[in-house]
């Protein structure tokens, strides 16, 4: 656990065969407002009606549970 805290990663093996990996969790980092604005500069405006139509087309709003 101390190694993970220090940023180390580990490969987990079973009988010498890699079966998994232990990696440190990514910590949330602060991103400056200016950097976010620059990242999204030039992105087309969001069309809320088109977004809603797309969501309605793929997501069921039925109250009945699925079998």
Torsion of Cα atoms, 28 then 34 then 36 then 38, to 10°: -150
Q: Is residue 47 part of a domain?
A: yes
Q: Is residue 65 part of a domain?
A: no
| Alpha carbon distance 25, 11 (integer Å) | 15
pTM: 0.40
Q: Is residue 37 part of a domain?
A: yes
Q: Is residue 7 part of a domain?
A: yes
Tally of structural domains, the chain: 1
Domain span including residue 23: 2-58
Q: Is residue 22 part of a domain?
A: yes
Digit-coded pLDDT (tens) for 9-65: 999 999 999 999 999 988 777 889 999 999 999 999 999 999 999 998 888 777 777
Q: Is residue 63 part of a domain?
A: no
Reduce the DSSP state of residue 14 to 3 states and report it. strand
Q: Is residue 50 part of a domain?
A: yes
């Amino acid at each position: 656990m101390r190694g993970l805290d220090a940023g180390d990663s580990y490969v987990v093996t079973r009988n010498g065969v890699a079966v998994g990996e232990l990696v440190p969790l990514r910590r949330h980092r602060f991103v400056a407002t200016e950097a976010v604005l620059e990242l999204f500069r030039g992105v087309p405006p969001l069309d809320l009606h088109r977004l809603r139509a797309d969501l309605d087309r793929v997501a069921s709003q039925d109250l009945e549970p699925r079998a």
